[in-house]
Structure 1
């Protein structure tokens, strides 16, 4: 039998990703840092695209609370802060456990851990910690220095903001006399009085600004990164501040360079104009989505992540008339600076564990606090934790508790057991 060639007509559909669409998606998904890098690359190739300088203040938004908490460490009343979460405590406890401290040093270490705040700083003066441990101040300081050198990230167990930054500068091998002198004058830096800083340190104002640029690369609250929703140290894309009329959500204009067209016309002008429109559209969409998310989570802005309510991307997309994929892309790597810390936008989405129940994020926060408050010598089992949550109106299975405990980096009960504190 002879084979015959045959011509057939077939209709198919295929989605082709054009260059313009690919660029639009890339810009929509980019965080401030990634977008800045992309724009710098485009400006280097296209002389018609002009990038203006970023104009941040002397301190990034994430520094404001740290500055208010007491610059020199010492005097003044400290605002009340919530108890340190066990994820941070578990981390430092494990790290200190590898030091093989003697009984006396272990008591001092336990007192230092107890004094640790969510920021990663010590919340009590060293003499008070020494008295609690029944040790001398020099012995307590010796253990503290050893812990500071061993526990990561650098800056934990600092006695003040300046101490926290000094520890990080020393680890980065950039701590010199000039930087140390600027760190000793953080109150003047925060006030923007760089001329006085220059006079008192013997540096030029340009040198002072360079030192400040180095300082801004450090983390003022290294303990905050252990919170469930915490974003890493970086420029936040959005800022949430409470004003007279309520919560105000705004773009962090210092996170991106300004864009404009070159004064002289030339090749690439249309492409530059299109790119500027894409960035402006991205910023407008981010602000719209960010406001919708944060207005739905206003309770969390007031009280912390334990007050997160159930919320899905589909609900936000429907409310704004956008596609769910747009919401997913815009929140992919963006962060918001709040009075409670810098949070990932994506982390604020959480479904309820049971119909009409709290969000999974709120349940994890409550689980964290239950473990934080448990007796050191009698930690709660997963069954006991499930029973406690159920008694509070959040019915949850033991296996769910075990899953969330693992997500939070919390050890099983037998590994959380510690000797009760010895008081003198």
Structure 2
């Protein structure tokens, strides 16, 4: 049989991730900071995009997050597999933040959440280079080198000091071995240790320590409080960690009252003195969604307009430029930029709508938490929300990642409301794992000094409340919350000497 080339037609179906769809999915999982940076980059690259200075002032009346018939997506069937969009007129494309409201159990709550814009600085107050006002925070290395140049004048000892500074960790502890420094510089270990002892008197106190005990001893020596009793206490930090105060009283040769004062002074010390310099400042969390209690007892859920970059397509500029363009390449570039701009605006609109729908459904299903607290947090998984809003579970996962909601009970990440379930003793409604952890913490905080609860006793208490839980699960939750065992808690509450 001879093989010959031939043409065949075959019809197949496949799901193709177009670049536009990939961008839409990428926008959905971005945090508000990442989205703002992405939009700024697009504003610089696309001449047809411009910032909407009007902001949310022109938003239409908010819509209510109630079940509605799904409309066919504007971006094709492959887009619906991820988004399942609804028709909306109050998204970021037309300047609105959007709002959803629905019924909730009655209860007292705040009148509303107020958010103020922080006005930026200005260089119009004075002359000079604006960069002159920029202050660079002093690093730990800069702080130590400035002291080294003042305190140590010998060039050889300064060279040893430079290698000691290079061997320090961000916490302030010396990681480099004196023997290694001596071998590298061709000097004696005694010379390195002599420079090290002098540098251990640098600021902050406790710097260049090689162990926790040495770090605490240096700080106590700086205060003039390194007594023999303190030295004995620092030599047995393992007993202090186990809260074995009776043994510490015998080793330090002090009474219970004196030991309590010594322990309080040790706790006032800084175990990581270097972090005061190189630590990053805490970044405030800006919520993506805000909720408030309305006068009719319903929870109102709305997008925070401060986190929604307002952009629009300048069709007038596109028309003006197109009229004067004769080159085919230029026309193709303008058409591609127009298509990209339209897609970005529609994707941001769809992102805002999807986040609003998911957040509204989470608030609806966790209304007990907002009305009564964490003890009423119900078990919830991504599949529950996906089924309620007719979206894929992967979409719900992207929506809830790095998205925060401001509630009357504080600011929470949307993923906080998804917790595992623990079965009930009588086969009734399951309990949330987070609510069970809260119950364990409450029981331990309320225990008396003469009745410290063991893990088995905590299991019995939870079973009386209808929670079917094993002792190993209680131990796992307790250790995750960094709560000591019953033996350690009993020692801490009694601590006889």
User: Could you tell me the TM-score, scaled by structure 2's length?
Assistant: 0.48
Tell me what 2:291 maps to: 240
CA 376–309 in structure 1, closer or farther in 2 if over 3 Å, else same: same
Tell me what 2:371 maps to: 302
Find 2:350's aligned residue among 274, 278, 281: 281
Q: Rg bigger for which structure?
A: 2
How far did 1:331 drift? 1.1
Deviates more, 1:262-271 or 1:23-32: 262-271
**CA contact under 8 A between 1:382 and 1:413: conserved in structure 2?**
yes
Tell me what 1:57 maps to: 116
Counterparts of 1:45 and 1:243 in 2: how far apart (Å)? 43
CA 280–372 in structure 1, closer or farther in 2 if over 3 Å, else same: same
CA 144–412 in structure 1, closer or farther in 2 if over 3 Å, else same: closer
Find 2:492's aligned residue among 401, 419, 423: 419
CA 244–372 in structure 1, closer or farther in 2 if over 3 Å, else same: same
How far did 1:376 drift? 5.7
**CA contact under 8 A between 2:28 and 2:351: conserved in structure 1?**
yes
Tell me what 2:461 maps to: 388
Tell me what 2:317 maps to: 264
Question: What do residues 304-360 of structure 1 show as CA deviations (whole Å, max 9, x unaligned)?
Answer: 323211223222222222222222221122111112111111120224211523112
Secondary structure at the aligned position of 2:405 is classed as strand
**CA contact under 8 A between 1:376 and 1:419: conserved in structure 2?**
no
Tell me what 1:397 maps to: 470
Counterparts of 2:379 and 2:339 in 1: how far apart (Å)? 44
Pair 1:321 & 2:390 matched? yes
How far did 1:419 drift? 3.0
Instruction: Kindly report which structure 2 residues correspond to 1:341-352, keeping only aligned pairs within 5 A, or say none.
Output: 341-352=410-421
Counterparts of 1:344 and 1:27 in 2: how far apart (Å)? 18
Question: What do residues 106-125 of structure 1 show as CA deviations (whole Å, max 9, x unaligned)?
Answer: 9xxxxxxxxxxxxxxxxxxx
Counterparts of 1:34 and 1:377 in 2: how far apart (Å)? 53
**CA contact under 8 A between 1:300 and 1:307: conserved in structure 2?**
yes
Tell me what 2:409 maps to: 340
Q: Which runs of 5+ in 1 are unaligned?
A: 61-94, 107-133, 155-169, 175-216, 220-232
CA 171–306 in structure 1, closer or farther in 2 if over 3 Å, else same: farther
CA 16–385 in structure 1, closer or farther in 2 if over 3 Å, else same: same
Counterparts of 1:376 and 1:256 in 2: how far apart (Å)? 52
Counterparts of 2:353 and 2:304 in 1: how far apart (Å)? 12
CA 12–386 in structure 1, closer or farther in 2 if over 3 Å, else same: farther
Question: What do residues 244-289 of structure 1 show as CA deviations (whole Å, max 9, x unaligned)?
Answer: 1231111111123211223521621221111011001110111111
Secondary structure at the aligned position of 1:260 is classed as strand
Secondary structure at the aligned position of 2:50 is classed as strand
Tell me what 1:72 maps to: none
Counterparts of 2:286 and 2:483 in 1: how far apart (Å)? 29
CA 236–421 in structure 1, closer or farther in 2 if over 3 Å, else same: farther
User: Could you tell me the TM-score, scaled by structure 1's length?
Assistant: 0.55
Pair 1:373 & 2:446 matched? yes
CA 378–33 in structure 1, closer or farther in 2 if over 3 Å, else same: farther
Instruction: Kindly report which structure 2 residues correspond to 1:7-46, keeping only aligned pairs within 5 A, or say none.
Output: 15-46=15-46
Secondary structure at the aligned position of 1:337 is classed as strand
Find 1:361's aligned residue among 427, 434, 439: 434
**CA contact under 8 A between 1:238 and 1:252: conserved in structure 2?**
yes
State how many pairs are aligned.
Answer: 284
**CA contact under 8 A between 2:216 and 2:266: conserved in structure 1?**
no
Counterparts of 2:403 and 2:353 in 1: how far apart (Å)? 14
CA 418–18 in structure 1, closer or farther in 2 if over 3 Å, else same: farther
Counterparts of 1:405 and 1:273 in 2: how far apart (Å)? 52
How far did 1:18 drift? 1.4
Let me know the Cα RMSD of the aligned residues.
4.3
Question: What do residues 69-124 of structure 1 show as CA deviations (whole Å, max 9, x unaligned)?
Answer: xxxxxxxxxxxxxxxxxxxxxxxxxx9xx9699999x9xxxxxxxxxxxxxxxxxx
